[in-house]
Structure 1
Amino acid sequence: MTDQPADLLQRWVTTQAGDAAPWVTDQLATLAQGAAERDLHIFLGLAPRKLGKSDLVLSPADRAAADAAHAGWEPQGWSIDGAARVLGLLRFKAQRPFAQVFKDLRRTADAGEMIALYRGLPLYPEPETLDFEVGEGLRSNLKPVFEAIAHRNPFPRDHFDQHRWNHMILKALFVGSDLGPITGLKDRANPELARILVDYAQERWAAGRPVSEELWIPVRPFADAPEIRSRLDRARAEGHLEEALQ
């Protein structure tokens, strides 16, 4: 039987929590029994002090269990306090729609809290109601907050329409974020994105700037389309392309 994400998180957090494990267990039980939102805020605020901020320790079996619980979920790189915050949200028995709770938390969150909130996106209930809050995260000027959505997070792959997906890929390039860690980068490749990325590459070349080799990952499936092929052939003739599309 496959474990639920919240059960996995609770096992990992309490195992690593040491002397704070009873506190975590008691707090989560309270949150699951209809506690006030104030109690949720207190738990989220105390998590770093009680648990520290070290990386969540995961074995290969743990990572496989995460993917089995939710396809594409990659919690490696999470901190223990960040994992506890997501766990608190999953255990909390809210008296109002989850999106409203999430909205209030995001508005008062510092950068570390926002990173944790957005990393938990694939696990939350009613994902379709989080559209606006996800958009706010994508517009963030803080690269780590943007990457909490874009990197190792299956939520964009599973829920973004093509326009928002393409915009996220382009923004990743503009802010100097790697494309490789984006879940679904190959699966969500599309002709419009390929054209956008070739335009971007041409602008970079015209300005004498390099182009990331990762840019070609979502372009390759459409490299033989006449419009794109002609432009790539010209770029290759001008010495801009070497083996990137081979």
Structure 2
Amino acid sequence: MQQLFSQYATSEATQWLTEKQKQVQSSQTGKEIYLPFSAAPRYVGKAPLNPTSEELDQANQLRQGFKPDNWTTDQLARTILLLGLSGDDADNYSKTILKLFGTADMGELVALYAALPLLPHPDKFVHQATEGIRTNMGNVYEAIALDNPYPFKNFSEAAWNQMVLKTIFTGKSLNRIYGLDERTNPDLARMLSDYAHERWAAGRTVTPELWRPIGPHINETIVSDIKRLFASDNETEHEAAALTCYQSNYPEAQALLDQHPLLKHKIREGQLTWSHIGQKAITA
């Protein structure tokens, strides 16, 4: 991570971070992190990172799902400082991190939440992270929910479902939730279907991405929702309906898919995926 930082920061900023990192690493109490963590933007700037595909692959190797492509130099510097803290004593370590959370401004919160998958003792921060998804600060919420493997690994089913629903409610793409397909569950499918019905009753639309976690849990109630999608005039809703049916073993869902052989063929050939739907949602 230091190598990535040095590519986007000045030599002065790199020198400053190296000095502060050494101080943090040699700290017995962890208190040496507080001032540099707060001051980082002043010394290293806020230049956006533009990591290459190779650098993103290296980040993913560091922690599967870790994707710092929307980070800035100050965020990366703060993460490097966090990683310099000794994690030998789990209680002392978590107290230091939670104290940072307690006094953080928005930029510091973004750095802290996005760094969670890299920190030791991840179980110590579950309560903080689940409380964090209640925030009304968009940047902070995105740091937790999007391109972050921490929720996938650590959230309870209830917290996970709340996060997915809020992501839809706030108009963000489900395509950026790491582990979405692996953590689909019947309660989430029911919640999303109920949400769709509320929107429809109010004369409003729902994002086609909403149906992505529902496919494996189609039942006699939800299949009527899929029929509605196929009856729509919206091509993307047809595609979402087909993808949802393709993920299902429910006989009526399979029969519906068979009525749309071209969409079924595109799915089988990899020409139609949920990522394709997600890209449409971003550009809509």
TM over 0.5: yes
The separation in 1 between residues aligned to 2:52 and 2:229, in whole angstroms, is: 44
Report what 1:70 is aligned to: 63
Residue identity in the other structure for 2:34: H
What is the CA deviation profile of residues 188-238 of structure 1, one whole-angstrom value per residue up to 9, with x for unaligned ones? 111221111111001101101110111111112323x223214433x3587
Deviates more, 1:182-191 or 1:199-208: 182-191
Equivalent pair of 1:172/1:179 in contact (CA under 8 Å): yes
Report what 2:121 is aligned to: 126
The separation in 1 between residues aligned to 2:146 and 2:139, in whole angstroms, is: 10
Larger Rg: 2
- Whether 1:30 aligns to 2:11 is no
What is the CA deviation profile of residues 164-211 of structure 1, one whole-angstrom value per residue up to 9, with x for unaligned ones? 111111111222222221111112111221111111001101101110
Q: How many residues align?
A: 236
Kindly report which structure 2 residues correspond to 1:1-246, keeping only aligned pairs within 5 A, or say none: 9-18=1-10, 19-34=12-27, 36-93=29-86, 97-223=92-218, 225-233=219-227, 235-236=228-229, 239=232, 242-243=237-238, 244-246=240-242
Equivalent pair of 1:35/1:92 in contact (CA under 8 Å): no
The separation in 1 between residues aligned to 2:140 and 2:4, in whole angstroms, is: 23
The 4+ residue runs of structure 1 with deviation greater than 4 A are 236-242
Residue identity (%): 36
Structure 1 residue 20, shift from structure 2 partner = 1.8
Structure 1 residue 112, shift from structure 2 partner = 0.8
Equivalent pair of 2:152/2:179 in contact (CA under 8 Å): yes
Report what 2:281 is aligned to: none
Gaps of 5+ in 2: 243-284
SS of equivalent residue, structure 2 residue 175: coil
What is the CA deviation profile of residues 46-73 of structure 1, one whole-angstrom value per residue up to 9, with x for unaligned ones? 2101111011231111100111111111
Structure 1 residue 35, shift from structure 2 partner = 5.5
What is the CA deviation profile of residues 138-177 of structure 1, one whole-angstrom value per residue up to 9, with x for unaligned ones? 1111121111100000011111121111111111122222
Structure 1 residue 36, shift from structure 2 partner = 5.0
Q: What's the TM-score once normalised by structure 1's chain length? A: 0.89
Gaps of 5+ in 1: 1-8
Q: What's the TM-score once normalised by structure 2's chain length? A: 0.77
SS of equivalent residue, structure 1 residue 28: helix
Instruction: Point out which structure has higher relative CO (alpha carbons under 8 A, 6+ apart).
Output: 1
Equivalent pair of 2:86/2:93 in contact (CA under 8 Å): no
